[in-house]
Each structure stands twice: as C-alpha cells, then as structure tokens.
Structure 1
Amino acid sequence: MKTHYFVLLSFLILLASCNSAETAQQGEKSDSVHNTIDSAAVASDTLQRTKARAKYSEVIKIDYQKNREILGILPLLPDSALATWEWKKEEREEMLRSLAANNQFTDTIQTYTAINKLTPNYIEINVVDGNWTASLYKLAENHYIVITNDMVGDGNDINAFEVKGQQIQAISVDNLIGAKPGNLLLKNNSEKCKSVISEEEMGMFTYDLSDPSIISVSCYYVNKKENSDCFYGNEVFLKFNKDLKRFDFVKTGWRNFL
C-alpha cells in the first residue's frame, strides 16, 4: 500500500512540474511576441523620422556671366509679379549671390519649381499649376523693359516694368503690347465673328515672349478652315520699338497647332 502511495505521489509531482514548465514556456513565447511588436513599432517610428529628416537637394549649374542681365532682374521684381506662387525676395537674392560666386545654386524644392528655359533675355520656370516667365527687352545699358507672365489655370497674368539700374517701376501692359490682341486678328467686325473669341478670357491666347525683340500672340480656338472669313490669322507678331518703348504690329499669320 505504501508503495502505491509513493508512486501516486511521484506521478503528481511530475505532472505539476510539466505544467509549470509549459506555463513558463508560454509566458516566454508571449513575451517574445510582445517584444517583436514593440520592435516593429520602434523601427517604423524611426523610419518615419528618418524620412522627415531627409530633404531634397540638387545643385543647379548656370553660366552667370552669360545670363547675368535676366538673372539680375529677378530680385528687383515685386511679389505681385509672382502672385500665384511664393518665391520670396530673400530667396531670389540668395540664389543670385550663389550664382555670382559659384555659377551654381542649391535647389531644395523638388516638386515646386524647375527652370525649363534660360537665355540671356528670357527665363521660364515650371511652377505648381503652370509656368512663370520673365522677358528682358534692352533699351540701353542697365535700362530695360521687363514683361512677366504668370500662366496658371486658364489665364495669363501679365505685368510690365521699366528697370533702370536698381530702380523698377510698373508700366501699362496695354500701352506696351495692346489691350486686345484679338482685334489685330479680326477681319470681319460682325457680332458672329467677334463671338468666336472672348477678350475677357485671356486663357484663349498664348503669349510667346522668348524672343529678344518679337512677341507672338496666338489663339488656339481659331483655325483657317473654319474661321478664315472672320480672321486674318490666328497669330499676330509684334516687334519691340525701343525708341517709343512699345511693341508695334508686324504681321498676322496662320499657325498649325496640331
């Protein structure tokens, strides 16, 4: 009988030991799972902070001496000439200092601006919703007419300035290039023909201001096949007259937009 009690007692002790070991293993597994989740959370948090710290930076090389006249105008322009996007005067001045010293500057805004075209008289910059341009027309040494065009959405925001030395003054765009370019294209003054284009919708016209002496203004909505009875053409050319500080009519023509 004593032997049976001893065997039974030994069995119960062994069973209790197994249960205790299994519970401990489960606890360790549970702790291990929790530790894995915590580690993942820390890793994710670290990754987010790393991404936040990482900033876009690209060195843009430009021949400053070759383009110094158009570049030198940029810091003088009032903020109203860049109304739809923020390019602060201080940023323009800093860019110019860097270019003058090193023929390069560091661009830190990857998706906001990009210089599409640069010549000694013209700069075109890609902005959030369109393009912005500045054009230089020389009157004399350190004396210019400057035209800016902020092209966003469906319109053109055109501004004109006279710059002499470091002094800049706004001038009338209408006196410079004309208020209604469509009038120069119109051959028939009937209401039917006039209704084809709307002078209030400046987005109907495309202004090419890249040439140092010629401006072209074209209308995509007018074509020779359908509108030749109403219009002389769908594009008008104007030439800079530096003596009168204005652009004079040269000719009209038909442009193929396809």
Structure 2
Amino acid sequence: MKPILSLFSLLAIFLFSCNNQKSKITESQNSSVVIEAKQSKNLSSNSKKDTVYVNYGDNKVILDLLPLLPDAAFRDFKWTKNERQQLVEDVKKNGYYIDRDSFHLNLIYAQPNTIGYSVIDGFWEMTIYKCADNSYLVIANTITGDDNSLNVFNYRNGVLKSAENQTAIFGDFRKELMIPGAKDCAARLKELRGPIFDYNFRNLNQVEIESALYLTKEKYQNCLKGNTLVYQFIPTEKKFKLKKVYWKEKK
C-alpha cells in the first residue's frame, strides 16, 4: 500500500501547487486591472450598454482633472465639459459609467498617473506628474494621423492653468538626437519633412520619445545618436531632463 499512498500524496501535492499558482496569477492580474468592461442588455432589446468599471479612489486626481480641461485639450474631436463631469460623477457614485458611444470615445486604460481613450480617428491621453510642492504638471496628448499635439498645464489646489511655455517641456529634443558636427544631418532630416515622433507617457515619472520606423541605426548611425530619447521628470524642478538617447530596434 505504501507505493499507492505515495503516488496519491504526490498527486495531491501537484494539484495543490497548480491551484495555488493559478490563484497567485489570478490575484496578480486582478491587482493590476483598474478597468473592467462587460456587456449587459438594455431594457430595449435593440441596444446594448457598455459598463466600464473604474476605481475612483485609486484614480481620483486624474479623474477630477477631466472636467477642468479646456476644449483646446481635445483637438479634432468633441468631448464637452458636461459629458466629462457626468462621467466623473457616475464613477464617483457607482464605481462605473455607461459608455453609450464606444466608437466615438472608448476608454483604453486608467491609472493613477495616466488615462487614455481611443477616439474616432486617433488617440487621446492625459498624464500627470506630481511636483515636490504637491502641485501637478499635466500633459494632454492628442494623436491623429501622423501628428501629436501636446497641451501642458499646471494644476494646484483645484485650479488648472495653461503652462506659459508649451514648447519648452522637452526642449529641442530633435537637436538632442543629432551628432554634433555630422555632415548633412539636418538636411537629411529636412528631406523627411520632420521625422514623426511618438510619446510614451505610461511609465511613472519617465517619458520616452520614439521616432518613426524609418529612422534606423543602419541608415542614420553616422548622423544621429539614436532614434529614441528617455526623459526623467524632476519633481523639485517641475521639468524633464534628458536621461539617455539610444537606438531602438525597428521591426
């Protein structure tokens, strides 16, 4: 009987280990998920509602900022202040809101420092950076086609104001890419009509600015230091400083 008992013991340990590991994975996944979506039928059999769950307590600052943004922060699409206010009130009261037009505006992610929506012809996101004096630097980024449009604000004690210098947030980052003294570098970039750059605001206190696919190391290593820049936010100075420039592989 001992071999049989031993076999059953090993099987039990194996099953317990698998279930325990599965529980850990599920717990880990749930802890990182801020938004959930489920489909539910409306009272009308011809329509459906999208119920979007958002944790208001975890995302309070970034949600409270939505109604304060001016219309200029929503380039190329319309999202009224009343609509934004209602969304925040619903989330605050119920822990969710009803998305009745996901084609026009669809929540992709919400985190304490950033929120992103897909829109009809592009993407819109807002990211906040906490400063040492408990104010915030706020960046709204609209992506349509091959273009990025940044709007920068300062937020303190419930008051949102446009930053005085909208273009100085990352300085002349294109110049930072160039190798000093490299021949014909500016001319080559000019031929491209200004390389397109994507901004990645998802990492806390760090921004990555990446060039388009055609700025590869093979073609431009004698002209550029890299095709991607990493900026670190300095809370005490309320600004970004260049951390590194490197070549990111293009696929």
Question: What band does the TM-score fall into relative to the shorter chain?
Answer: 0.7 to 0.9
Higher helix fraction (1 or 2): 1
Are 1:257 and 2:247 matched, yes or no?
Answer: no
- 3-state DSSP class of the match of 1:92? helix
Are 1:114 and 2:106 matched, yes or no?
Answer: yes
Alignment of 1:23-42 (within 5 A): none
- 3-state DSSP class of the match of 1:218? strand
CA gap 1:216/1:199 in 2 versus in 1, 3 angstroms: farther
CA distance in 2, matches of 1:203, 1:90: 37
- Most deviating of 225-234 and 169-178: 169-178
CA gap 1:88/1:191 in 2 versus in 1, 3 angstroms: farther
CA gap 1:108/1:186 in 2 versus in 1, 3 angstroms: same
Are 1:196 and 2:160 matched, yes or no?
Answer: no
* 1:257 Cα deviation after fit: 2.5
8 Å CA contact 1:235, 1:253 repeated in 2: yes
RMSD over equivalenced CA pairs, Å: 2.2
Higher Rg:
1
CA gap 1:166/1:255 in 2 versus in 1, 3 angstroms: same
CA distance in 1, matches of 2:53, 2:175: 43
Q: 1:96 aligns with which of 68, 78, 88?
A: 88
Q: 1:248 aligns with which of 241, 246, 249?
A: 241
Partner of 1:167: 159
CA gap 1:235/1:109 in 2 versus in 1, 3 angstroms: same
Aligned length in residues? 206
Partner of 1:9: none
Match of 1:65, as an amino acid? G
- 3-state DSSP class of the match of 1:91? helix
CA distance in 2, matches of 1:160, 1:201: 25
Alignment of 1:114-193 (within 5 A): 114-140=106-132, 143-171=135-163, 172-178=165-171, 180-190=172-182, 192-193=184-185
- Most deviating of 80-89 and 196-205: 196-205
8 Å CA contact 2:132, 2:236 repeated in 1: no
Q: Deviations over 1:200-224 (max 9, x none)?
A: 9676111111122111111123111
Match of 1:162, as an amino acid? N
Partner of 1:60: 52
Q: Deviations over 1:38-79 (max 9, x none)?
A: xxxxxxxxxxxxxxx955521111111111111111111100
CA gap 1:104/1:133 in 2 versus in 1, 3 angstroms: same
Partner of 2:220: 227
Return 5+ residue gaps in structure 2 as ranges: 1-44
CA gap 1:199/1:248 in 2 versus in 1, 3 angstroms: farther
CA gap 1:196/1:55 in 2 versus in 1, 3 angstroms: farther
Match of 1:146, as an amino acid? V
- 3-state DSSP class of the match of 2:102? coil
- 3-state DSSP class of the match of 1:65? coil
CA gap 1:162/1:202 in 2 versus in 1, 3 angstroms: farther
CA gap 1:200/1:101 in 2 versus in 1, 3 angstroms: farther
TM-score by length of 1: 0.74
Return 5+ residue gaps in structure 1 as ranges: 1-52
Q: Percent identity?
A: 26
* 1:128 Cα deviation after fit: 0.7
CA distance in 2, matches of 1:200, 1:245: 33
* 1:196 Cα deviation after fit: 3.3
Alignment of 1:15-26 (within 5 A): none
TM-score by length of 2: 0.76
